[in-house]
A and B are shown apart, each in its own frame.
Chain A
Amino acid sequence: MTWKTDLPVMLPVTKPEPEPFLGLKAWHILPVALFAILGPSLGFAQTEDGGQNPLVVLMNWAPLLLQGFVFNLVISVSAMALGTVVGALLGLGQISLIPVVRGGSWFVTQFFRNAPWLVLLFFAMFLLPFEISILGLKIPFPDWLKAILGLSLPVMANVSEIVRGAVRSLPSGQWEAAESLAYTRMQTLWLIILPQCVKRMLPPWMNLYSILTMATVLASIVGVSEVMTLTGQALASEGGRPELLAPFYGFVLLLFFIYCYPIARFTVRLEKKFAVIG
Chain B
Amino acid sequence: MSWNTSDPMVSLKDVHKSFGDLKVLNGVSLDVMKGDVICIIGPSGSGKSTLIRCINALNDIQQGSILVEGQEVNDPKLNKLELRKKVGMVFQQYNLFPHKTALQNVMMAPVRVLKQDKDAAEKSARALIKKVRLEGKEDAYPGELSGGQQQRVAIARSLAMQPDVILFDEVTAALDPETVGEVLQTIKDLAEDGMTCILVTHEMAFAREVADHIYFTDRGVIVEHGPPDTFFKNAQDPRTKEFLSQIL
Contact = CB atoms under 8 A, between A and B. Distances in A.
A184 B85 CA distance: 12
Nearest to A172: B95
A180 interface: yes
A177 B161 CA distance: 13
Interface string A150-179: 000000000000000000000101101111
Contacts of A181: 84, 109, 113, 157-158, 161
Interface stretch (A125-133, A189-197, A204-212, A236-244): A189-197
A98 interface: no
Interface of B: 56, 58, 80-82, 84-85, 87-89, 91, 93, 95-99, 108-109, 112-113, 143, 154, 157-158, 161
Nearest to A187: B112
Contacts of B89: 176-177, 180
Contact of A176 (B91, B96, B112): B91
Contacts of A278: 98, 143
A196 B99 CA distance: 7
A82 B96 CA distance: 34
Nearest to B110: A181
Given A180-B89, A184-B81, A195 B99 contact: yes
A134 interface: no
A277 B96 CA distance: 16
B233 to A, nearest CB: 35
A182 B85 contact: yes
- Which 10 pairs, one residue from A and one from B, show the smallest C-beta to C-beta distance? A177-B95, A173-B95, A182-B84, A180-B89, A181-B109, A182-B81, A182-B113, A182-B85, A195-B99, A173-B93
Nearest to B87: A180
A183 interface: yes
A180 B84 contact: yes
B19 to A, nearest CB: 14
B97 A179 contact: no
Contacts of B143: 277-278
Contact of B58 (A171, A179, A183, A187): A179
B112 A183 contact: yes
B73 to A, nearest CB: 13
B88 A192 contact: no
Nearest to A199: B99
B113 A183 contact: yes
Given A180-B88, A181-B161, A278-B98, 18 more contacts: A173-B95, A174-B95, A176-B95, A177-B89, A177-B154, A178-B97, A179-B84, A180-B58, A180-B158, A181-B84, A181-B109, A181-B113, A182-B80, A183-B109, A183-B112, A187-B112, A187-B113, A277-B143
27 contacts: A171-B93, A171-B95, A173-B91, A173-B95, A177-B89, A177-B96, A177-B97, A177-B154, A179-B58, A179-B80, A180-B56, A180-B87, A180-B89, A180-B158, A181-B109, A182-B81, A182-B84, A182-B85, A182-B113, A187-B112, A187-B113, A191-B108, A191-B112, A192-B97, A196-B97, A278-B98, A278-B143
A127 B45 CA distance: 59
**Max chain B C-beta neighbours (<10 A), residue from A174, A182, A192, A196:** A182
A191 B157 CA distance: 16
B187 to A, nearest CB: 17
Nearest to A183: B113
A221 B47 CA distance: 63
Given A176-B58, A277-B143, A182 B109 contact: yes
Contacts of B99: 195-196
Contacts of A192: 97
Nearest to B53: A176
Contacts of B82: 182
Contacts of A191: 108, 112
